[in-house]
């Protein structure tokens, strides 16, 4: 993960401010000024961190969604679709898959625009680009 983060920082260039916040993304979003654009990359990793920390997922998700709703800046959220494959054979993976699906549904409901990107091709599911 450290290598992946370093690679992303290099790709984005010096004009980006990076906050590494594995669990408390809502706190960062609450502090975002109105004139800033924020890329939350990614909701899937945030959820994974909470799942592995044995957090109360419903409470963490509610806090994140409230922070997104009240975020003063412009926000772009990256998330992964995990429900298109086979049903996992272990309980943790099934719990994660279900939680990710619920999170994606709630994120999409709040969003003005939802774009699914597959093989580098965007498909607008809601709103417009």
Looking at residue 129, its pLDDT comes to: 85
| Residues assigned a catalytic role | 8
Q: Which domains does the chain have, with CATH numbers?
A: 2-126 (3.40.50.300)
Nearest to 99 by CA among 41, 39, 59: 59
- Are 38 and 12 within 8 A, CB to CB? no
- 50 three-state secondary structure: helix
Whether the Cβ atoms of residue 48 and residue 39 lie closer than 8 Å to each other? no
Sign of CA dihedral 25, 27, 28, 34: positive
Tens digit of pLDDT per residue, the chain (129 long)? 789 888 988 888 888 888 889 999 999 999 999 999 999 999 999 999 999 999 999 999 999 999 999 999 999 999 999 999 899 999 999 999 999 999 999 999 999 999 999 999 999 999 998
Q: What is the pTM of this model?
A: 0.89
pLDDT for the residue 4: 84
């Amino acid at each position: 993960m450290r290598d992946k983060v370093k690679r992303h920082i290099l790709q984005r260039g010096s004009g980006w401010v990076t906050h590494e916040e594995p669990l408390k993304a809502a706190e960062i979003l609450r502090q975002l000024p109105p004139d800033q654009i924020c890329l939350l990359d990614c909701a899937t990793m945030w959820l994974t961190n909470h799942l592995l920390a044995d957090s109360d997922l419903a409470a963490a998700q509610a806090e994140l969604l409230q922070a997104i709703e009240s975020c003063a800046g412009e926000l772009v959220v990256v998330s992964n679709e995990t429900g298109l494959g086979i049903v996992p054979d272990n309980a943790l993976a099934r719990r994660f898959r279900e939680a990710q699906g619920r999170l994606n549904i709630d994120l999409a409901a709040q969003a003005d625009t939802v774009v699914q990107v597959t093989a580098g091709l965007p498909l607008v599911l809601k709103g417009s680009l």
